[in-house]
Amino acid sequence: MKAMTNLIPAWVDGQLQPHDKMAVHLGGLRHKAVSVFVISADELLIQRRAMGKYHTPGLWANTCCTHPDWGEAPVDCAVRRLREELGVEGLTPQHRGKIEYRADVGGGMVEDEIVDVFSASATPALPITPNPDEVMQARWIRLGDLQAEIAAGPDRFTPWLRIYLAEHLEQILGN
C-alpha cells in the first residue's frame, strides 16, 4: 500500500510544487483536486464525511473527492480514492473537464481548487464498503431529491457539492 505523503500540488509563488496539505488549506493556496460522481440512471452515490475529517466533518459530499499526490495522474487518483474511501473497485471514471472554485470550509481553512471532475456509471447493487476513517455513511439519491435536500438544509452539504450542483451540473452529469 502506498504511503500517504500529505504533499499535494499547489501553486506557491506562481509555481506548481508539492506543498503540505494542511498549510495549503490554512493559507488558502490554489491547488489541484479530484472529484468523482458515481451515477446509476437518475441516482447519484453520495457520502457523508467521517467525523474525524479535518474539515467539513459529518457533511454530505459527492461520491468521493480528494487531492492527488504529487506526481499522481488525476484518473489514477480518482480510482485510488474510490477504493480507499468506499471500497469501490472496477469502475472506469470518465473525465468531465475541470472546474475551479473557492470556498470557506471552516476552521480558518479555504478550498481554492482546480478540480479534475470524473463520472462513472454503476448500478445501485455496486458493492460499497466505506472506510470509517473517511466515510460515515453512503447512499444513492435521485438528483431532484438531492437538490431539494440541499435547498431545505444547505449546511448539511459540503460547499463544493452545492457549487457543483448549482453551477456545473450539465458538465458533470451530461444530459
Of 43, 72, 84, 113, catalytic: 113
Q: Are 12 and 19 in contact (CB under 8 A)?
A: yes
- Tell me: pLDDT of 2 over 60: no
Residue 1, in any domain of the structure = no
Beta-strand pair 43-49/60-61:
antiparallel
How many distinct helices (H) and strands (E) make up the chain? 5, 9
pLDDT of residue 4: 43
Of 1-10, 15-24, 50-59, 96-105, the range with the lowest mean pLDDT is 1-10
Beta-strand pair 7-12/64-66:
unpaired
Angle between helical axes of 143-152 and 159-167 (0-180°, round to 10)? 120
Residue 68, in any domain of the structure = yes
User: What mean pLDDT is reported for the chain?
Assistant: 92
State the average pLDDT over residues 61-82. 96
In the chain, the percentage of residues whose pLDDT exceeds 90 is 74
What domain range is 53 assigned to?
7-169
Cell of 39: 451515477
pLDDT of residue 28: 84
State the average pLDDT over residues 96-105. 94
CATH code at position 14: 3.90.79.10
Q: Are 58 and 45 in contact (CB under 8 A)?
A: no
Confidence band, pLDDT 50/70/90 cuts, at residue 3: very low
When divided into structural domains, the chain yields a total of 1
Residue 113 appears among annotated catalytic residues: yes
Other beta carbons within 10 angstroms of residue 169's beta carbon come to: 12
Residue 175, in any domain of the structure = no
In this prediction the pTM is: 0.92
Q: Which of 96, 83, 165 is nearest to 127 (CA)?
A: 83
Residues 4-46 have pLDDT tens digits of 457 888 888 888 888 888 888 888 878 899 999 999 988 999 9
| Cα–Cα distance for residue pair 128/151, rounded to 1 Å | 27
Residue 174, in any domain of the structure = no
Of 43, 64, 65, 77, catalytic: 65
Residue 163, in any domain of the structure = yes
State the average pLDDT over residues 44-72. 95
Residue 77 appears among annotated catalytic residues: no
Residues 113-168 have pLDDT tens digits of 999 999 999 998 999 999 999 999 999 999 999 999 999 999 999 999 999 999 99
